[in-house]
Amino acid sequence: MFSKILFATVALALVSGPALADAGHGGARAYGEPGDARKPARTIAITMRESDGKMMFIPSKIEVRQGEQIKFVLRNNGEIDHEIVLATLAENLKHGAEMQKNPDMEHDDPNARRLSPKKSGEMVWKFTKVGEFDFSCLIPGHREAGMTGTIVVTTKTGAL
Ligand SMILES: [Cu+2]
């Protein structure tokens, strides 16, 4: 058990090392920072499911204003486990490749949640940087089956 956690931690550190290194303190990343559940947040519901060999997030495109804190209310309506990992596209592609090699890698990060079938969960994230970011299910094969989406963070006035 311990070795599994240690291994996952090391693997994650390898994957997210550069992002964390330039992020400074407080868990800040290129795509924002972990939210504070005690502070106001706009709620966005995301459903995970699979159908006809495809896997998906609904919705798969989300728009956010810079500085907004979002409470993602997550629901797995599928028949198998799914997860959501919020990151830059480059990070998620790299992390996804790691997951192909180590499918049992588990996430306990403020930017990721894994849900069993018919379960719900929450994730609070503050989007502090303008840009286009990725959210994907990195369980092997799922992103490839369509389980990915985009978050566009615009300036406070709505410009990119
Ligand atoms: Cu999935």
Q: How confident is the model at residue 9 (pLDDT cuts 50, 70, 90)?
A: very low
How many Å apart are CA 59 and CA 151, to the nearest integer?
10
Contact status, residue 124 vs residue 36, Cβ threshold 8 Å = yes
How many Å apart are CA 62 and CA 149, to the nearest integer?
8
- Whole-prediction pTM: 0.81
Q: How confident is the model at residue 85 (pLDDT cuts 50, 70, 90)?
A: very high
Centre of ligand 1 from the C-alpha of residue 72, in Å: 16
Q: State the average pLDDT over residues 136-151.
A: 97
Centre of ligand 1 from the C-alpha of residue 86, in Å: 13
Assign 50 to helix, strand or coil. Answer: strand
Eight-state DSSP code of residue 13: H
Centre of ligand 1 from the C-alpha of residue 41, in Å: 26
Centre of ligand 1 from the C-alpha of residue 83, in Å: 6
Prior bond to 18 cis, omega within 30?
no
pLDDT in tens, 94-108: 999 999 998 777 777
Centre of ligand 1 from the C-alpha of residue 48, in Å: 7
* pLDDT computed for residue 117 by the predictor: 98
Centre of ligand 1 from the C-alpha of residue 75, in Å: 12
How many Å apart are CA 74 and CA 86, to the nearest integer?
13
Average pLDDT, the chain: 86
Cα–Cα distance list, 57 to 77, 148, 152 (Å) = 10, 7, 15
Centre of ligand 1 from the C-alpha of residue 8, in Å: 19
Cα–Cα distance list, 100 to 60, 108, 139 (Å) = 23, 18, 8
pLDDT in tens, 22-78: 434 568 999 999 999 999 999 999 999 999 999 999 999 999 999 999 999 999 999
Centre of ligand 1 from the C-alpha of residue 5, in Å: 21
**Percentage of the chain exceeding pLDDT 70:** 83
Q: Taking the CB of residue 151, how many other CB atoms lie within 10 A of it? A: 22
- Residue that is written with structure tokens 């005690």 in the block: 38
Q: Which domains does the chain have, with CATH numbers?
A: 2-154 (2.60.40.420)
Beta bridge partners, 153, equal 64, 131
Centre of ligand 1 from the C-alpha of residue 20, in Å: 25
How many Å apart are CA 39 and CA 36, to the nearest integer?
6
